Amino acid sequence: MSRIPRSLLDAAAVNRPLRGRAAIAGAATYGCGEAPGMDDMTLLARAAHAAVQDAGLTMRDIDGLATCSVNASMWTLPVIEHLGLNPTYVDGTMVGGSSFIAHLLPAVRALEAGQCNAVLVCYGSAQRSATFGRKESVAARRFLDPQPYEFPYEPVLPVTAYALAAARHMHEFGTTRAQLAEVAVAARAWAQQNPEAFARDPLTIEDVLAARPIASPLTVRDCCLVTDGGGALVLVRAERARGLPQPPVYVLGNATAIWNRQISCMPDLTTTAAVQSSAQAYAMAGLSAADMDMAQVYDAFTINTLLFLEDLGFCAKGEAGAFVQDGGIAPGGRLAVNTNGGGLSCVHPGMYGIFALIEAVRQLRGQAGQRQLARHRTAVVHGNGGTLSSQSTAVLGTSDTL
Amino acid sequence: MLAPMHLSAQTHYQAELDAGRFCIQQCPQCGQHVFTPRELCPHCGASPLRWVRAGGLGTVYSTSTIARKQDAGGDYNVALIDLDEGVRMMARVEGVAPGAVRIGQRVRAHVAQHGGRGLVLFQPAGEGGAA
Residues A25-81: tens digit of each pLDDT: 999 999 999 999 999 999 999 999 999 999 999 999 999 999 999 999 999 999 999
Q: Name the 3-class secondary structure at B61.
A: strand
- On whether any CB of chain B is under 8 Å from the CB of A265, the answer is yes
* Inside any domain, residue A63: yes
DSSP-derived 3-state class of residue A80? helix
B131 pLDDT tier (thresholds 50, 70, 90): very low
Q: Which of A337, A262, A257 is nearest to A298 (CA)?
A: A337
Domain carrying residue A377 = 16-130+225-401
By C-alpha distance, the chain B residue nearest A148 is: B10
- Judge whether A274 and A384 are in contact, CB under 8 Å: yes
Mean pLDDT of chain A: 97
Is the predicted pLDDT of residue A314 greater than 80, yes or no?
A: yes
Q: Which residues pair with A251 in a beta bridge?
A: A396
> Which tens digit of pLDDT belongs to each residue from A6-23?
999 999 999 999 999 999
pLDDT at B115: 84
Cα separation, A112 vs A18, in Å, equals 8
Q: At residue B130, does pLDDT exceed 50?
A: no
Amino acid identity of A60?
Answer: R
In a domain, A206, yes or no: no
| CB pair distance less than 8 Å for A153 and B80 | no
Q: How many domains does chain A have?
A: 1
Give A207-257 pLDDT, tens digit per residue.
999 999 999 999 999 999 999 999 999 999 999 999 999 999 999 999 999
Q: Is the pLDDT of residue B128 over 80?
A: no
The verdict on a CB contact (< 8 Å) between B10 and A150 is: no
- Tell me, yes or no, whether A194 lies in a domain: no
- Among A98, A176, A163, A115, smallest CA distance to A352 is for A98
Mutation target among B8, B14, B25, B66 for the A interface, most CBs of A within 10 A? B66
Nearest CA in chain B to A161: B64
In a domain, A167, yes or no: no
Residue A277 lies in a domain: yes
Contact A1 B86 (CB under 8 A): yes
What residues of chain A lie within 8 A of the CB of B99, using their CB?
216
Residue A191 pLDDT > 80: yes
Average pLDDT over residues A88-102: 98
Q: Closest approach of chain A CAs to the CA of B2, in angstroms?
A: 28
pLDDT score at B1:
63
Q: Read off the pLDDT band of A138 (50, 70, 90).
A: confident
User: Which of A154, A214, A263 is the closest to B76 by Cβ?
Assistant: A154
**Domain architecture of chain B: domains with CATH:** 9-124 (2.40.50.840)
CA distance A146 to chain B (A): 12
* Overall average pLDDT of the B29-57 stretch: 97
| Among the listed residues B72, B66, B131, the one whose alpha carbon sits nearest the alpha carbon of residue B97 | B66
Per the rule left: phi > 0, alpha: psi between -120 and 50, beta: everything else, A326 is left
Residue A64 is which amino acid? Answer: G
Q: ipTM value of the model? A: 0.96
Question: Residue A203: inside a domain, yes or no?
Answer: no
* Cβ neighbours of A301 in B, within 8 Å: none
Q: Specify if A281 maps to a domain.
A: yes
Per-residue confidence (pLDDT) for residue A134, from 0 to 100: 84
* Residues A236-267 as b or e (16 or more Cβ within 10 Å = b): bbbebbeebebbbbbbbbbbbbbbbbbbbbbe
Q: Which of A296, A310, A377, A307 is nearest to A344 (CA)?
A: A296
> Is A260 a residue whose pLDDT tops 80?
yes
Average pLDDT over residues A365-372: 98
Is residue A65 situated within a structural domain?
yes
Q: Which of A152, A164, A213 sits opposite B80 (nearest CB)?
A: A164
Taking CA atoms, A340 is separated from A28, A55, A230, A303, in Å, by 14, 21, 15, 18
Write down the pLDDT at residue B114.
86
Q: What is the pLDDT of residue A1?
A: 53
Q: Which amino acid is at A61?
A: D
Q: What confidence category does residue B129 fall into, taking pLDDT thresholds of 50, 70 and 90? A: very low
Looking at per-residue pLDDT, the higher value among A347 and B114 belongs to: A347
Chain B residues with beta carbon closer than 8 angstroms to that of A1: 61, 82, 86-88
Kindly report the CATH number assigned to the domain that includes residue A382.
Answer: 3.40.47.10
B87 contacts on A by Cβ (under 8 Å): 1
Q: CA B16, CA B35: separation in Å to the nearest integer? A: 15
Higher pLDDT, B114 or A197: A197
Confidence (pTM): 0.97
3-state DSSP assignment of residue A352: coil
SS3 of residue A230 by DSSP: strand
The tens digit of pLDDT for each residue in A55-69 reads 999 999 999 999 999
pLDDT of residue B126 exceeding 80, the answer is no
